[in-house]
Amino acid sequence: MRTKIRLTRFGAKKRPYYRIVVSNITSPRDGRFIEVLGHYDPTQGIKKATINKAKVAQWISKGAQPTDIVKQILKNAQA
């Protein structure tokens, strides 16, 4: 099973809120996911994102590929 680490959108119209999740590459953006790894609120910026870095490292070691946006969040976010 090929997996991606990507964002899933939540929140109201014009007030997005995202979860950082691991999902199968064939699942839709807001569809089924395997595990939640963190949260990202774009109104507060990347530095305020919360991420479980141990789980992210575990999934990357299993072969999950983060999307470009998630790579930026992982690089700039606090633990």
* Beta-carbon count within 10 A of 65 CB: 14
pLDDT of residue 45: 87
CA separation for the pair 51, 6 (Å, rounded): 12
Host domain of residue 46 = 3-76
CATH number for the domain spanning 16: value is 3.30.1320.10
CA separation for the pair 41, 15 (Å, rounded): 9
pLDDT of residue 73: 93
| Nearby residues of 41 by Cβ (< 8 Å), 6 or more positions away | 17, 18, 48, 49
Element (H, E) at 52: none
Query: What share of the chain in percent tops pLDDT 70?
Result: 97
What confidence tier does 78 reach under pLDDT thresholds 50, 70, 90?
A: low
pTM for this entry: 0.88
Mean pLDDT of the chain: 91
CA separation for the pair 44, 66 (Å, rounded): 21
Q: Please tell me the total count of domains within the chain.
A: 1
